[in-house]
Amino acid sequence: MTEPTKGAHGGARRVADALMAQIENGNLRPGDQIPTIAALAEAYGVNKNTASKAIVTLKASGILSGLAGGNTWVRVPPPYKSRSNERYHAEKEAVLLPESERSSTGVSEADSGIPLSNLHEDKVEYAVIEAPEEVREALRLPPGASVLRRVYTRQHARKSGVDRSISYLPYDLVGGNPDLLDSTREPWPGGTMHQLHTIGIELGKIVDRVTSSMPTTDEVRDFDIPPNVPVLRIRKISYSIDGQPVEVMDIPTPADRIELVYTTHLEPWT
């Protein structure tokens, strides 16, 4: 089947509108698979290129998900996050609370409003590795030094994009406490600040450095990022009260689902 160019554009819009109508009336729900290009072309009397253009349009709008050449489904909307730097004050205040209070909620849940118990997936992977060069420099470690790398992956619903962050702690700093090397103890009540507290470290400063870039191919797939959406890359460096860097954490987040809030308290003149 061939279509004039003008007709092809109209055909693509007709297919896209029909799919949107099914999504809006609930016949297609988040996570539901979309028929193949061949099936869409036959169902709507258009050629495969026209059906493909309709799918590309809906992916660009964040309505559908899926990589080219694979399955396509109705996108599961990502949770919107509001990340404030004041979260660190709350985390430090919680360090000295009883475990029952520390475990009641965490700053990550506060960001999205989703309790850990409601997540589809919550996993962490620990490994002791040689520190990557930029991490080693940020932590002021000597060449060849090891770090405890912790990769946190969370998924709020089936077929949704994941959230992922990577933490690096100097191995010489935490290696003396076996509990801090045991991933089965996650989620740790009170988070990293309490973990560091168990080895006598109090945090005095946290620096967030925020940059942006386009996502990698793996990030597009894993985070479920629509076309042309950049990733905000937060590098969080935590310092002890004596000024030593004790943790580096990388937090890549697609820009379409996060708000960064920075509050600066100013001292009064009098």
For residues 222 and 162, the answer to whether their CB atoms sit within 8 Å is yes
Q: Do 134 and 20 share a structural domain?
A: no
- Where among 51, 74, 97 does a domain terminate? 74
Mean pLDDT per 10-residue segment, the chain (270 residues): 56 95 96 95 94 95 90 94 92 90 71 78 96 98 98 94 97 96 94 96 97 97 95 98 98 96 92
Q: Domain residues for 129? A: 81-261
Tell me what pLDDT residue 1 has. Answer: 46
Last residue of a domain, one of 74, 94, 113: 74
- pTM, rounded to two decimals: 0.89
Task: Write the burial class of residue 131 (CB in 10 Å: 0-12 exposed, 13-18 middle, 19+ buried).
Answer: buried
Q: Are residues 102 and 133 in the same domain?
A: yes
Alpha helices, H only, the chain: 5-24, 37-44, 48-60, 87-94, 99-102, 107-112, 133-138, 171-174, 191-197, 217-223
pLDDT of residue 270: 81
Instruction: Say if CB 1 and CB 42 are below 8 A apart.
Output: no
Q: How far is residue 213's CA from residue 175's CA, in Å, rounded to a whole number? A: 34
Into how many domains does the chain fold? Answer: 2
Residue 267 lies in a domain: no
